[in-house]
Structure 1
Amino acid sequence: MDPQFDAGIDSPADTSPTPTTRRRMPAWVTRSDTWFVAGVLTVAAALAAGALWLLWKLLTGILAALDAGGEIAGDAGHAAANWVATGPITRTITAPVHAYLDSHAAGLPATAEQLRWGWLITGVVLLTAASFGARGARIGWCLHGVSTAAMVWSASPADNRELAVAVTAAVWSLLAVPAFARGPFQAAAPRHTTVVITRPTGADSAESATPAR
């Protein structure tokens, strides 16, 4: 058999490559505006991430500053409270009062310590009630201040009595400001409006000149 008539498996027709179809990419992938939009979105995402990071740092810094400020304020408030409770101005009043009660409590059923607590609690209750507008508490607060000034005068050194009583009066006057102010639950005094009606000049003469019918 001649080679040109051989149709076996070794034929050149069988060994030729099979043509393949090439896949094309979507049109929007190759467009220039698509890549521009993608670049803009990438930059925007990076800027947003940076802004969030800065915001987080700012918030954490503010919280840390507030925490430190709260500790400082707490220490300052504690120091101020200690100064008010045990400071020289307060002891100018409380030391003579305690000394007076200690020296005059002998023979009484109540001890000097009980009398000191009674004096303090009475003042706090009267001041609180007076601040809410109770008239009886305001009178009691005045009497409490007078009795306190008397004890300060009696138990203070002779050379400093006047000054100690003056300090007591000044402190009691400052505390009396909320006591004698209008309380938060006290209604304001009602306002009365007076209307005055006046007759025009010559009205009486005109009525007398009009003939009666």
Structure 2
Amino acid sequence: MSDALSKPRSTPGTEPKPPRPVPHSPADDIPDGAQVLLAVIGIASAIALLVWGIPKGYHWARAQDWHHFTQWAATIDRPVHTYLAAHTTGLPITAASAYVLWQGIGLGSLALSWATGATGARLTWIAYGAATAWMVWDSSPATGRPVATALAALAWTVGSAFALRGLSLRPVIVNR
């Protein structure tokens, strides 16, 4: 019998493929001694940060004048609190509960939008910003309304850089 007849027949395209090479890791190029040295330096840096850096940062933060930041936050926060207090009269929810819900929904939608990019969370973030700007406009003194609303819009815009990251208005074209 000839060798051509004794070999098993295979259909075209099903020939066994050679095994894939093992992926190369960048850590394979670093000698073991250098890896140990990098680990020791990393652990020493973490210990130095915990022992020296965090207390220094804490003392620095306590020595700073945060008055400008607190004024800016109060420009947004107080009108929202006033708006909720005025418009929850007669409702089963208290103004304090509505205020806590407002804060929680804002932080939750910001975090969910950033972490998941979910459409619902992003739409909630957009509605939250619009509602906040409206509450600031409605409850701020008449002479300061434009500035207070602009500060609220700027704060919401800064948050939107995180909440709406990766959002594109370009159409997605799928070629099949």
Flag whether TM exceeds 0.5 (same fold). yes
Matched, 1:150 2:134: yes
Cα-to-partner distance string for 1:2-48 (whole Å, 9 max, x where unaligned): xxxxxxxxxxxxxxxxxxxxxxxxxxxxxxxxxxxxxxxxxxxxxxx
Count of equivalent residues: 125
Shift of 1:135: 1.1
- CA RMSD in angstroms, aligned pairs only: 3.2
Matched, 1:89 2:65: no
Instruction: Please point out which of 177, 185, 199 is paired with 2:161.
Output: 177
CA distance in 2, matches of 1:111, 1:66: 43
Instruction: Please point out which of 107, 110, 113 is paired with 2:90.
Output: 107
Shift of 1:76: 3.5
Where do 5+ consecutive residues of structure 1 fail to align? 1-58, 184-189, 195-213
Identity of aligned residues (%): 34
CA distance in 2, matches of 1:173, 1:102: 26
Q: What's 2:13 paired with? A: none
Closer/same/farther in 2, CA of residues 153 and 191 from structure 1, 3 Å limit = closer
Shift of 1:68: 4.4
Who wins on radius of gyration, i.e. which is larger? 1
CA distance in 2, matches of 1:79, 1:92: 23
Cα-to-partner distance string for 1:122-179 (whole Å, 9 max, x where unaligned): 0011111111211111111111100111110111000000000000000100000011
Shift of 1:66: 7.3
Aligned ranges for residues 121-136 of structure 1 at < 5 Å? 121-132=104-115, 133-136=117-120
CA distance in 1, matches of 2:61, 2:72: 18
Bigger RCO of structures 1 and 2 (CA < 8 A, at least 6 apart): 2
For 2:99, the aligned partner's letter is R
Shift of 1:192: 6.8
Where do 5+ consecutive residues of structure 2 fail to align? 1-43
